[in-house]
Amino acid sequence: MRTLILTFFILLSSGLRAPSARAEVGLNPNAPVPQPGNMGPLALPTLPNEDPVIASGAKGRGRLSIEGSLITSFSSNGEDLSVAPYMRVYVPFYPGVALTYDYVMYEHWRTGEATRIKNGAYDRRGGVQGDMRAGAIFYLKSETENIPAVGLRIVVKTTTGKDFRNHRFLDAPGYYFDILMGKNVYESKSRDALLTKIRILGTLGFFAWQQGAAEQDDALDYGATSVFEFRDGTKFSLEFRGYTAYQDQDDPMLLSVKYTHPGRKMDWVTSVDKGLTEDALDYKVISGVAMHWDTGVVPGSYKRPLNLRQLGASIRSGLSRISGRMRGSQIDH
């Protein structure tokens, strides 16, 4: 677990060390400014909506999950195709706080000639390492009868994604800052009810990505999701999400449906995305499994919002213990 936490902070810092993606534009004089409408479908994605409430299991313990899946993206004419193994890790770190990691391990891709020209790419097929993102979710306010639960999501896109010469990945950082909202609009008290819960999620925030040494594009990102939960634990969700920026080819918008079939320690997950604008690829299918365990790095109830006073006391206590050990070590020497 300590290794996992250390990895998070390494990835977070790596997103700040960015080579200039724009510098590679010189390789092809016809290459456009990097935007979602002329990049690979996994380069500048719209992030799925998330619940601000930290995932928890028995006795309020955090629910750690590791998802492994395959992402298949394709155009309606069949000329553009991308296949990539993908993983995501969700770590309840502290009551009210979760850390997230996701990684497009390797993308195998091909495009038609029209897409190659539009993207200013050299090749029509290839393979490349994808992006890794590291982030955190802070559960700030619990839900009431009339007000939704509220949280904050911060995600940093690192520079691991390569092959900018073919506009597959940006090889430059990006940053997401989102307000997350969640509200139950229906809960059945009957044990015989087929549909047990309907929960609405909302996202509104800011997304920026670097286009060069001194250039970036800024976008307003948004999303809304309806999650339907059934008696056997099955979940079905319908989601609308996207972002809109102020330049050209930077307004991806999509509709997504997701099905989750629960297991004791592993869920089967399948989602289908349909692009609604020219800046989003026509279709994306994600299918895989998510393993989960009831745990938490710091003990406590993860169903509650972040308590800043308690967090401050924990930090002071930790620093005090470290300081005491350092003094003890100096005395021994």
Report how far residue 137's alpha carbon sits from residue 123's, in angstroms, rounded to the nearest whole number: 38
Please name the residues in contact with 322: beta carbons below 8 A apart, sequence gap of 6 or more.
none
Residue 283 lies inside a defined structural domain of this protein: yes
* 3-class secondary-structure state, position 190: coil
Alpha helices in the chain (DSSP H): 2-14, 113-119, 308-332
312 located within any domain? no
Is 20 within a domain? yes
Place of tokens 């909302």: 202
**Does 230 reside within a domain?**
yes
3-class secondary-structure state, position 64: strand
pLDDT of residue 5: 45
**Residue 185 is assigned to a structural domain of this protein:** yes
- Confidence at residue 264, expressed as pLDDT on a 0 to 100 scale: 80
Q: For residue 47, tell me if it sits in a domain.
A: yes
Rounded Cα–Cα distance for residues 74 and 41 (Å): 9
**Going by DSSP bridges, is the β-strand pair 216-230/195-210 parallel, antiparallel, or unpaired?**
antiparallel
Give per-residue pLDDT as tens, 188-232.
988 889 999 999 999 999 999 987 666 789 999 999 999 999 999
Is 59 exposed, middle or buried, given 0-12, 13-18 or 19+ CB atoms closer than 10 A? exposed
Please name the residue that has the structure tokens 């850390």. 99
Q: What is the CA radius of gyration of the chain?
A: 21
Return the closest-CA partner of residue 101 out of 57, 131, 136, 134: 134
Strand partners, 87: 68, 103
Instruction: Give CA torsion, residues 278, 45, 62, 148, to 10 deg.
Output: -50
Structural domain contains residue 241: yes
Say which residue the tokens 């009210």 belong to. Answer: 96
Is residue 142 assigned to a domain? Answer: yes
Element at 182 (helix H, strand E): strand 174-187
- CA torsion 141-132-219-20 (nearest 10°) is 140
Record the tokens describing residue 3, joined without a space. Answer: 């290794």
Q: What is the mean pLDDT of each run of 10 residues along the chain (333 residues)?
A: 46 44 49 85 94 86 93 94 97 92 96 92 93 96 94 94 89 93 93 93 95 80 97 95 92 97 91 95 96 81 82 70 65 57
Closest CA to 265 of 233, 227, 302: 233
pLDDT in tens, 46-88: 999 999 999 988 777 889 999 999 999 999 999 999 999 999 9
Domain count for the chain: 1
Q: Which domain holds residue 14?
A: 2-302
pLDDT of residue 323: 67
The residues, ordered by sequence, that sit 6+ positions from 182 with a Cβ below 8 Å of its Cβ are 51, 52, 53, 143, 148, 149, 151, 199, 200, 201, 202
> Which neighbouring-strand residues pair with 198?
186, 228
User: pTM for this structure?
Assistant: 0.85
For residues 66 and 56, what is the distance between their CA atoms, to the nearest angstrom? 14
Residues 132/85, Cβ–Cβ less than 8 Å: no
- The per-residue pLDDT for 34 is 82
Task: Name the DSSP class of 191.
Answer: T
CATH number reported for the structural domain that contains residue 262 in this entry: 2.40.160.40
